[in-house]
Amino acid sequence: MSRVTPQDLIPGKIYPAGTDSPSHFATEPLKNLFRFGDGLKGLGNQGGIRRAMVERNPSLVNEEAFIVLLDTGKQAEWENHYDEAANILVYYGDNQMPGKDFRDTKQRGNETFLKHFGRAYAPERGHHAPFFYFERVGRDVRYVGLALPHVDGMTLDEALYRKTFHHKASGATYENLVARFTVLPIPVDGEWLLDLKLGVGDGEHEPAAWRTFRQNLTEPRMPQLSLFDSDSLEDNSHPRTRNHEGMRMTRYRISQSRFRETLLRRDACCELCGLDVRELLVASHILPWALSDASQKDDPDNGLVLCVMHDGLFDKGFISFASDGRLLVTPHLGEENRRLMGLREDMSIRNWPGRENYMGHHRFRFDEAH
């Protein structure tokens, strides 16, 4: 099979659905638009958030080449909204299931939002993949523009936050992410799409606006929050005021104080190194406080006691723990730093099924970052 270069993406252009088959999936416009041939996988034919993965580049295994956002206008619980004057897109995540973790979705759209917004607000952290925004027009689609997971003047928790919704059919509640993108209504060369698919960076077909965006990410334009600083991703459905912030911090301090006492009764020393100086111990949430629901915030299984140094390493994603409790350390620290920080290969913590339910999420982000 020969390699195929996708069509150029032109803002405002309508890309029609196919007409040579009665099957909706065979004629779905986005699936037909993003074809690459030569054995390369294209784009799926379902969902509003569709990921195309990098192929044939060993250094970018399990990384997105690009992500397509499609507004169908048919969501019952929410409506995506594009402000053309401000070039700001409000786009909702892909969870709509009561009783389900908002990250645990079939297309992994919310995990993808967390990853790429986190990287956009954390200079020099990881691979950056562009988003392309389309709107449904009947059976066809209209390309709107290149969507950046970042809004100038907004912090991470303002650009991406968690919100509670009510499922109209069942009346039950569920949580989903709300994301704000900056949309650039610029054309995209089909050759660049092929470069992205193959993991080619800094190619001649890369739009200048995207190159500028990537380069600016190395500058401290915004508060620098790492992918693991997710305590900022709270429900931000109302404009932030000083009173709102004060109430949030009060709730956090009360909850954290209760959580700390519970954990210190269980473990009165650092679970990793054994330090037992109470003033130097931190009761840390494994799944960050702001990403936890009411029961998870106070669940002892969602916590571990670490000394100040090892808590900092865990919080920033330099260390994590395997399912059997073994210590995992990023190779970026180097042998000398590991020695200075007292990290040894034989170190471990106790782990059990309840704790592993939370640790798996931390380990997923640890693996993604390193």
pLDDT-based confidence at residue 253 (cuts at 50, 70, 90): low
Q: Is residue 251 situated within a structural domain?
A: yes
Averaged confidence pLDDT in the chain: 84
Tokens at residue 284, please? Answer: 């840390």
Whether the pLDDT of residue 89 is over 70: the answer is yes
pTM: 0.61
Query: Rounded to the nearest 5 degrees, what angle is found at the Cα of 8, between the Cα atoms of 7 and 10?
Result: 130
Beta bridge partners of 162: 177
Crossing angle of helices 353-369 and 109-120, rounded to 10°: 50
Asked whether residue 224 carries a pLDDT value surpassing 80, the answer given is no
Rounded Cα distance between 67 and 196, Å, is 11
Residue 96: CATH number of its domain: 2.30.280.20
pLDDT above 80: residue 300? yes
- The 10s digit of each residue's pLDDT in 133-163 is 999 999 999 999 999 999 887 888 888 989 8
Question: Has residue 37 been placed in a domain?
Answer: yes
Across 168-177, 233-242, 329-338, 352-361, least confident range: 233-242
Residues 148 and 260 in one domain: no
Angle (CA) 238 92 240, round 5°: 15
The total number of residues written for the chain in this structure: 370
What per-residue confidence (pLDDT) applies to 251?
A: 52
Question: Which of 208, 232, 256 represents a domain boundary (last residue)?
Answer: 232
In a domain, 3, yes or no: no
Q: Looking at the structure, do residues 109 and 78 belong to the same domain, yes or no?
A: yes
User: In terms of domains, do 94 and 117 share one?
Assistant: yes
Q: Count of alpha carbons within 13 Å of 99, Cβ hemisphere only?
A: 3
Strand residue runs (E) in the chain: 14-15, 49-53, 64-71, 81-83, 88-92, 131-137, 140-148, 160-166, 173-184, 281-285, 303-307, 319-321, 327-329
Q: What is the pLDDT of residue 240?
A: 40
**What's residue 69's pLDDT?**
97
Q: What is d(CA 53, CA 340) in angstroms, rounded to the nearest whole number?
A: 38
- In this prediction, residue 199 carries a pLDDT of 93
Residue 368 C-alpha from the chain's centroid: 10
Residue after which a domain boundary falls, among 199, 232, 265: 232
Residue the block writes with tokens 């909850």? 255
Q: Which residue has tokens 């993604």?
A: 368
pLDDT band at 122; cut points 50, 70, 90: confident
Strand 64-71 relative to strand 131-137, pairing: parallel
Low-confidence winner among 171-180, 199-208, 264-273, 282-291 (lowest mean pLDDT) = 282-291
Which residues lie below 8 Å from residue 73, measured CB to CB, with a gap of 6+?
A: 79, 80, 135, 136
Six-digit token string for 278: 């109470």
Check if the beta carbon of residue 52 is closer than 8 Å to that of residue 27.
no
CA atoms of 64 and 238, how far apart (whole Å): 32
Q: Report which of residues 252 and 38 the model is more confident about.
A: 38
Question: Do residues 224 and 334 both lie within one domain?
Answer: no
Residue 184: band (very low, low, confident or very high) from pLDDT cuts 50, 70, 90: very high
Residue 223: exposure state from Cβ atoms within 10 A (0-12, 13-18, ≥19): exposed
180 shares a domain with 312: no
Is 128 inside a domain boundary?
yes
Q: Mark whether 166 and 250 lie in a shared domain.
A: no
Reported confidence tier of residue 244, pLDDT bands at 50, 70, 90: very low
Helical residues (DSSP H) of 198-333, grouped into ranges: 208-216, 242-266, 294-297, 308-315
φ and ψ of 18, to 5 deg: -70, 160
Domain boundaries, position 166: 14-232
Burial of residue 351 (CB within 10 Å: 0-12, 13-18, 19+) is middle
Asked if residue 237 belongs to a domain, the reply is no
CB of 227 closer than 8 Å to CB of 330: no
The pLDDT value given to residue 341: 93
> Is there a domain that residue 2 lies in?
no
Q: Last residue of a domain, which of 213, 232, 251? A: 232
Identify whether residues 164 and 198 lie together within a single domain: yes
Residues 127, 255, single domain; the answer is no
Q: Which residues pair with 178 in a beta bridge?
A: 92, 161
Q: Report the number of distinct structural domains present in the chain.
A: 2
Phi, psi values for residue 349, rounded to 5°: -125, 165
How far apart (Å, rounded) are the C-alpha atoms in residues 206 and 188?
Answer: 8
Any domain includes 1: no
Are 134 and 141 contacting, i.e. CB atoms less than 8 angstroms apart?
yes
Instruction: Tell me: do 211 and 252 sit in the same domain.
Output: no
| SS3 (DSSP) at 179 | strand
Q: Say if 250 falls within a structural domain.
A: yes
**170 plus 293 within the same structural domain:** no
User: Is residue 43 domain-shared with residue 19, that is, in the same domain?
Assistant: yes
280 in the same domain as 257: yes
